[in-house]
């Protein structure tokens, strides 16, 4: 599959923000907390795990998880997806996801490794599982999103683990609900002229304990 143009990896989170705010209102009422909603909790549920490596040989695991609070992506048929990806402006399809922070783990051989948790909507996960084209596109976006966010290179010779759905732990993610771009447009063009293939919600770091 062709490499995604990184100039398209520009975060636009307005739709995500609105949906998460509505969910917070339904779950927490109209209290004072809604006047300054900073984040919402997302509990990752295991889906499947990819094994790959960085350019320096470090082993990397990517836990593909689902979270009920994340909005669904637009449901496109394969023909529509191909047509969209071949167009000059593939702005009609974004995948809301949370790219988690790296966490150190130990693999089955007792060696150190790094794992990342990527959380998506469960309905999108189900569709993606049953459609090879959509899954290939999604995994390409995930790899390039992690590369761009964490400034690293990942091998495309990945393997899907058969006997493990995740590596390490799956901690709850406090996802920012404000629109804050983490994957920026590097093309020098007007940022409003292009939309993202990723609608990324960045996990909010826990404040240091006193």
Residue 71 within a domain: yes
The structure's pTM equals 0.71
User: How do residues 74-123 score in pLDDT, each as one tens digit?
Assistant: 898 999 888 888 887 666 678 889 999 999 999 888 889 999 999 999 99
Bridge partners (DSSP) listed for residue 174: 41
Residue 23 within a domain: no
Q: Which of 6, 19, 69, 29 is nearest to 179 (CA)?
A: 19
Structure tokens at 109: 């051989």
Q: How many domains does the chain have?
A: 1
User: How do residues 1-12 score in pLDDT, each as one tens digit?
Assistant: 445 544 444 434
Q: What distance lies between CA 142 and its chain's CA centroid?
A: 6
Residue 5 within a domain: no
Return d(Cα 158, Cα 53) in angstroms, integer: 8
Q: Which of 134, 203, 193 is nearest to 8 (CA)?
A: 193
Residue 94 structural domain: 43-179+196-200
Residue 97 within a domain: yes
Q: Which residue has the higher pLDDT, 55 or 20?
A: 55
Residue 191 within a domain: no
User: How do residues 136-181 score in pLDDT, each as one tens digit?
Assistant: 999 999 999 999 999 999 999 999 999 999 999 998 887 776 544 4
Residue 166 within a domain: yes
pLDDT for the residue numbered 205:
54
For the four alpha carbons of 127, 129, 130 and 133, in that order, the dihedral sign comes to positive
Rg (CA), the chain: 17
Q: Which of 73, 75, 82 is nearest to 197 (CA)?
A: 73
Residue 21 within a domain: no
Return d(Cα 97, Cα 124) in angstroms, integer: 10
């Amino acid at each position: 599959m062709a490499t995604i143009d990184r100039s398209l990896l520009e975060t636009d989170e307005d739709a995500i923000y609105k949906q998460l705010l509505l969910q917070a209102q339904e779950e927490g009422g109209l209290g004072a907390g809604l006047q300054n909603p900073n984040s919402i909790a997302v509990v990752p549920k295991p889906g499947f795990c990819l094994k790959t490596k960085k350019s320096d040989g470090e082993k990397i695991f990517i836990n593909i998880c689902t979270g009920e609070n994340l909005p669904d992506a637009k449901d496109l048929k394969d023909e529509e997806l191909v047509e969209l990806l071949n167009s000059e402006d593939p702005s009609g399809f974004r995948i809301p996801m949370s790219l988690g922070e790296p966490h150190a783990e130990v693999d089955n051989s007792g060696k150190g490794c790094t794992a990342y948790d990527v959380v998506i909507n469960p309905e999108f996960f189900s569709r993606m599982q049953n459609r090879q084209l959509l899954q290939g596109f999604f995994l390409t976006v995930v790899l390039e999103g992690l590369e761009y966010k964490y400034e690293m290179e990942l091998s495309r010779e990945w393997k899907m683990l058969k006997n493990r759905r995740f590596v390490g732990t799956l901690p709850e993610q406090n996802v920012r609900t404000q629109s804050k771009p983490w994957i920026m447009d590097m093309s020098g063009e007007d940022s409003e002229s292009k939309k993202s293939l990723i609608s990324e919600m960045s996990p909010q770091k826990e404040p240091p304990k006193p």
